[in-house]
Structure 1
Amino acid sequence: MKAKGSWMLIALVTIISLMFGQAITPVTASAAGPEDADVLVRLLDPKALPEGWTVPKTVGHVVNYLMHEWYQNETKGEMARAADFGIEFSLNDANLDLQKSLAGVDDYLAKGVDAIVFTPVNEEASAPTIKKATEAGMPVVCEGSPTEGCLTLVSIDDYQAGYNVGVWAGEYAKANFGGKALVLDIGLPALSTTVARSNGFADGLKSVLPDAQIVQSVDGKGLKDEAVKVAADALTANPDVNIIFGINDDSALGGLQAFQAAGLDTANLLVVGFGCEGKACKSALMEGGPYKVSAGMFPEYQGRLLINAAVAAFNGFPMPPHIVAPTTPITKDNLGTFYTQEGDEWVPNFEATAAIQ
């Protein structure tokens, strides 16, 4: 790291120490590394940027599927954070169309935006376009799934998040089902991140219940209607399933709908979701039915991290390969720690989310 970059980091750490009322050891040029960069991105203050930094005028996000509630809430977080910086923020929705996604990147390059946030429709197929963009000097921050060429990835640790809710499910099954765990996994094999969620869940579950079985894995494509369809077929073949795991909340809710439609007993069912990004998950948790836990991903907070990362990348700051967004199992008991219900809306508590270890 150049001396200038080092002193900028020292300045930021000083600001952080004042904010939190505690001493933090300044970083020197020789000590600066990925962890220091991670701290900088997380705690970047629009009102106290490191000296010499400028704010990008424009940031564009090529989203893979804006119809999904996760991206609606994440992009709200981006919009709010961009406004904090005074950045003009725009969206380009690929609607799960690879060619539209790649054309969206080319469009932003042609328009000369200052930085791009990119959520791939297909990781491998997107790599040549992203590498072309970064080689041309465009800072590109990946969201959700890694793509070769991106300067950094902002996302949760999908495997660990899956593992954590798997452990939770194992403890629940031990206490409530006599240790029986026959799982329907509603996955999404097209993305490495969602495969990691399923694998993590299975490993976490088996760490508590070694005899647990994944009786069938199906491709719900991350969509509720598709999840209902494939889960219905799987439950016909495996009516003794007592745990449904979904790689997102739509998958889990679709599995629950199929279970109910089959006339099976939900008193002997645990549903485990992933994301808890919107009202449907939160309502299901509060109802006290079989939907007991979801791996919270906090989309609004992750949106803030994306804009922070885009600002840092725009200023040429050496980026860590993965900025790990916080996640924790969300249940009826702790939902109120991270969100406050105001009428029909759930307002995120960013301070509580940032404190997740």
Structure 2
Amino acid sequence: MKKKFLATLMVATMAFAMVGCSTDGAATDSSKSGGDSTQTAQSEEFNPDTEKDSMTIEEVREKFGDVPVKSGLKLGAVEKSLTNEYWRTLQTGYEEAADMISKASGVDVTVDVDGTTDESDETGQQTMVENMTNQGCNALMLSPISDSNLTAAVENAKDAKIPVYNVNDGVIATADYYAGPNAYQNGQLAAEWISNKLGDEGQVAIVIGMAKAFAARERTSGFKDWIADNNSKLDIVAEQNADWDRQKSKDLAATWIQQYPDLKAIFCNNDDMALGVVEAVKEADKDILVVGVDGIGEAYDSIRDGGLDATIDSFPYYTARVAMECTLRALAGQDMPRVVATPQALIDSTNVDKDAAEIIGWEDANYVAE
């Protein structure tokens, strides 16, 4: 994907991972780099960024029309750490979507949202999914910490005939559907923006998330591949994992600033890490571009204040609304694609104050009682 296209791209290349949560649900079985052998094999079988059975939410609506809603549905959502604003925003999106859908359709729909206290509690997240399965949810919407930590829990949900939607970040290879932004294009958008700002030359570095996370690997690959594919003169002098942690990324950036006095830009796999890098850059009194991913409110504030330079916003609030809509469509028997793309866009000082719904052209679907 070349420079002139990516600059204005707002991507919706996503997927839904669905594994129903009650006998009402109809679930089907379906299964890049890094991590253990099991996780790598699973990722090679299914990559939402390259899956051909994929639609945008607009294409889904054009094909299927109204969203049928069954009365009394109880949905479950398990996220990563709720200390991260991205996941709290996703939670808000789920909860407000449930209220809106109930009012619009005239039937009751509830959603129970849970998340871990940190980004590494894989076992705790698995327990949350097991609990929701045992509580008899009609469907699950899951955002795994890694590509493998929820595998067993998803199999148990499938045995209980509970549909599962994989919503962003880690990939559950055995989930039926996936919904989220194209992680590979996150990295491409960041690389193109940095290239344009630097005149396509200069030293750059990459702060990577957790090695086990699909999104971290894809965002990094997208960034590096854009540089290679465009014969860019950007020079990647350093790259290292900071595990989605702000303090780790700050410390890492401080070290790099000392090691590479000509460093011109740092791309971070998420906004939390990017904000840590911004702190290090300010303390060193350096002029270094910092770009993150997620589009959290704190990142927007930092852009307005002249700290963070850009973020790739994947609009978690609207990702949750897409996930809710597609889960309900699947429960109603609509033949959903394997992947549904959610919107994303690069945000910098030129559009930071523009309304998100306007940026992505969002409109709610029409919900009707089934």
In structure 2, how many angstroms separate the alpha carbons of the residues matched to 1:36 and 1:168?
Answer: 24
Tell me what 1:212 maps to: 234
In structure 2, how many angstroms separate the alpha carbons of the residues matched to 1:56 and 1:154?
Answer: 24
| 8 Å contact kept, 2:294–2:315 | yes
- Is residue 307 from structure 1 mapped to residue 324 from structure 2 by the alignment? yes
In structure 1, how many angstroms separate the alpha carbons of the residues matched to 2:127 and 2:193?
Answer: 42
Tell me what 1:344 maps to: none
Tell me what 1:255 maps to: 277
1:279-294 map, 5 Å: 280-289=298-307, 291-294=308-311
Aligned equivalent of 1:101, options 125, 133, 156: 125
In structure 1, how many angstroms separate the alpha carbons of the residues matched to 2:333 and 2:249?
Answer: 42
Tell me what 1:182 maps to: 203
| 8 Å contact kept, 1:118–1:142 | yes
| 8 Å contact kept, 2:201–2:232 | no
In structure 2, how many angstroms separate the alpha carbons of the residues matched to 1:192 and 1:35?
Answer: 20
| 8 Å contact kept, 2:180–2:340 | yes
In structure 1, how many angstroms separate the alpha carbons of the residues matched to 2:262 and 2:280?
Answer: 14
Tell me what 1:240 maps to: 262
1:1-357 map, 5 Å: 35=55, 39-40=59-60, 48-50=66-68, 54-55=70-71, 57-86=73-102, 87-95=109-117, 96=119, 97-144=121-168, 145-174=170-199, 179-188=200-209, 189-207=211-229, 210-261=232-283, 263-266=284-287, 269-278=288-297, 280-289=298-307, 291-337=308-354, 339=355, 348-349=356-357, 351-354=358-361
Residue 150 (structure 1) shift: 1.5
Instruction: Tell me the alpha carbon deviations over residues 181-217 of structure 1, each in whole angstroms, 9 at most, x when there is no partner.
Output: 2112110122121111112122334555622211111
| 8 Å contact kept, 1:205–1:212 | yes
Residue 355 (structure 1) shift: 6.2
Residue 256 (structure 1) shift: 1.8
- Secondary structure of 1:149's aligned partner: coil
Moved over 6 A (4+): 42-45
| 8 Å contact kept, 1:248–1:273 | yes
From the superposition, tell whether residues 183 and 116 of structure 1 become closer, same or farther in structure 2 (CA, over 3 Å): same
- Partner letter of residue 151 of structure 1? D
In structure 2, how many angstroms separate the alpha carbons of the residues matched to 1:41 and 1:224?
Answer: 38
- Partner letter of residue 82 of structure 1? A
| 8 Å contact kept, 1:183–1:244 | yes
More helix by share: 1
Q: Which runs of 5+ in 1 are unaligned?
A: 1-32, 340-347
| 8 Å contact kept, 2:179–2:341 | yes
**Count of residues in correspondence between the two structures:** 301
Return the structure number with greater relative CO, CA threshold 8 A, min gap 6. Answer: 2
Residue 315 (structure 1) shift: 2.2
In structure 2, how many angstroms separate the alpha carbons of the residues matched to 1:277 and 1:37?
Answer: 22
Identical amino acids, percent of aligned pairs: 20
Residue 172 (structure 1) shift: 0.9
In structure 2, how many angstroms separate the alpha carbons of the residues matched to 1:317 and 1:62?
Answer: 24
From the superposition, tell whether residues 35 and 264 of structure 1 become closer, same or farther in structure 2 (CA, over 3 Å): closer
